[in-house]
Amino acid sequence: MKKLINDPADVVKEALRGMEAAHPGHLRVDHDHAIIYRKDAPRQGKVALISGGGSGHEPLHGGFVGTGMLDAACAGEVFTSPVPDQMMEATKQVDGGAGVLHIVKNYTGDVMNFEMAAEMAAADSGIEVQSVVTDDDVAVQDSLYTAGRRGVGITVLLEKIVGAAAEEGRPLQEIADLATRINSQGRSMGMALTSCTVPSAGKATFDLADNEMEVGIGIHGEPGRKRLPLASAKDVASLLVDPVVADLPYGKGDSVIAFVNGMGGTPLIELYVMYNEVAQILEQAGITVARSLVGNYITSLDMAGCSVTLLKVDDELVGLWDAPVNTPGLRWGC
Amino acid sequence: MAEALTLDAFARWLKQFAETVHDNVGLLTDLDSAIGDADHGTNMDRGFKAVVSVLDGNGFESPDALFKKVGMTLVSTVGGASGPLYGTFFLRFGSALQGVEAVGTQELGKALRAGVEGIVTRGKAELEDKTMYDAWAPALEAFDRAAPEGTAAALAAAATAAGEGRDATTDMLARKGRASYLGERSIGHQDPGATSATMLLESAAATLA
């Protein structure tokens, strides 16, 4: 293992210290609970947004705390859900009287821990909490016989758009409905060129030969659905975009936000090569790209690879997407 | 009938399990790497280290108070799916012992069953989903069958049955948790949760008998 770390056990703690030191004007960090807050939380009368999950997906979620996105993010250990105490504490701290939305990615641990937090919050404080669970990964069969689809790329787009709506002062129910609608209109698919190495494990989670790629991966180094011979960017783009387009389905005349996301270990130049291919496939399908996002936003430590997310949008969603956002991970219009 | 179990015995059980988990961090994490997210060993180790310091730092008036504290400690320190599952197990285990004067074989069996019912409620697992429930379910049956022979025999039978259930998970197709994302590829790997659950019963057999 080659990593820029000190003790593997201190990675999350020290990264949070670094985030606080790097963004003193925007963030404050509760180090006892591993919670990142926007500096001006709670905002009276604004619905507060909380997300959280295992660490190792940076900038998600802590990097999306700030004006126009999240009010707080709860950091778990690497690839491990945060615990209910954290979400309870964050819920109490950010509530500005308008209620709190929990944004949860669909993983067994995350869902169970957020559920326990919501149960405890209801019993404890009386703060109104709603939850949205993202599950946009088409690589996973959605049936009664699996834990359901994983929450991946759509989570980034959802946090941005719903964050803008909350900033406008919309009520909790409307915010929760909007979040559900965004999740239902988004689909993603990812692939890996390499595995990733969890600091505490010290070795790669799975092995991939130089001439292989793993298609249908999630964001925790869990192996994907199938292993294929390495292919060109053009072919990989089809492998990712085709099942995404077919699943919703997206069709001629649809308008989308197209998001090409890096898994953490792939250079931006390759992500743009991929975006070029993705854009051509969408153009041929008659799908209009209203907005795009290219970069490392929901990552899997040092994994090389990418994912493609499409979100079907209308003027309202595009307007909210364009609204000002000021976070360490996303910033425009301000 | 064996003598009633003491607070000291329960503490020895949890400490023995903490030690077993610590000695098997690599095994649990390797099993989880194959079909999950490579954190079961380190998460359980962190959680049960915290349990040991709670046991060392506090006196408890009753088994139910001890196990409720253990459950809350696990919920707060483990994370992942194991935190809510093991936490819920001990919370329900403790609740079942509330007001019980002497914990004999029957009471222990009831508490184990209540704990496992908590796991099922929280995790919504069914038999042969390839989860820890596949170790727990046969263990409970074996415990009840051997209960007339006393606590030692019941726990020994439960630990053996859990081990068989754990071994049987290898050939199962995962239908819960992160392993379910793998579909057919989850077959051929032993479930990490069933493995740690078996260790918990083996520790019980070694310390509560």
Residue A14's φ and ψ, nearest 5 degrees, are -70, -30
Has residue A148 got a pLDDT over 90?
Answer: no
What pairs with residue A55 in β-bridges?
A: A78
Identify whether B97 is part of a domain.
Answer: yes
- The answer to whether the CB atoms of B123 and A108 lie below 8 A apart is yes
Identify whether B2 is part of a domain.
Answer: no
Given the residues A23, A26, A57, A61, the one annotated as active site:
A57
Q: What is the mean pLDDT of chain A?
A: 94
> How many angstroms away from the CA of A74 is the closest CA of chain B?
12
CATH no., domain A186-312 = 3.30.1180.20
Contact by Cβ (8 Å): A190, A244: no
Which of the four pLDDT bands, split at 50, 70 and 90, describes residue B5? Answer: very high
Kindly list the residues from chain B whose CB atom is less than 8 angstroms away from the CB atom of residue A116.
75, 84
CATH number of the CATH domain containing B115: 1.25.40.340
Kindly list the residues from chain B whose CB atom is less than 8 angstroms away from the CB atom of residue A79.
37-39
What span, in angstroms and rounded, lies between the C-alpha atoms of A192 and A10? 27
Report in angstroms the alpha-carbon separations of A204 from A198, B131, B183. Answer: 7, 24, 21
Contact by Cβ (8 Å): A261, A307: yes
pLDDT in tens, A269-326: 999 999 999 999 999 999 999 999 999 999 999 999 999 999 999 999 999 999 999 9
Identify whether B44 is part of a domain.
Answer: yes
Domain count within chain B: 1
What span, in angstroms and rounded, lies between the C-alpha atoms of A276 and A257? 14
Identify whether B1 is part of a domain.
Answer: no
First to last CA, chain B: 11
What span, in angstroms and rounded, lies between the C-alpha atoms of A229 and A210? 9
What span, in angstroms and rounded, lies between the C-alpha atoms of A2 and A64? 27
What span, in angstroms and rounded, lies between the C-alpha atoms of B119 and B136? 10
**DSSP letters of A307-326?**
EEEEEE--HHHHHHHHS-EE
Which of the four pLDDT bands, split at 50, 70 and 90, describes residue A249? Answer: very high
Proportion of chain B above pLDDT 90, given as a percent: 83
A57 is catalytic: yes
* Nearest residue in chain A measured CA to CA from B119: A112
Which of the four pLDDT bands, split at 50, 70 and 90, describes residue B58? Answer: confident
Contact by Cβ (8 Å): A189, A202: no
Q: Which CATH class is domain A12-185?
A: alpha beta
Has residue B2 got a pLDDT over 70?
Answer: no
* Domains of chain A, residue spans: 12-185, 186-312
pLDDT in tens, B63-89: 999 999 999 999 999 888 899 999 999
Q: Hey, of B29, B33, B37, B119, which one would you mutate to test binding to chain A, going by the most A CBs within 10 A of its CB?
A: B37
Q: A–B: how many Cβ contacts below 8 A?
A: 106
Give the pLDDT of residue A301.
Answer: 97
What span, in angstroms and rounded, lies between the C-alpha atoms of B115 and B102? 18
Which residue in the block uniquely carries the two structure tokens 């975009």? Answer: A241
The domain in which residue B149 lies consists of 7-207
Give the pLDDT of residue A144.
Answer: 54
Contact by Cβ (8 Å): B4, B208: no
Has residue A6 got a pLDDT over 50?
Answer: yes
Q: What is the ipTM of this complex?
A: 0.75
Short-list A231, A153, A215, CA closest to A185 = A153
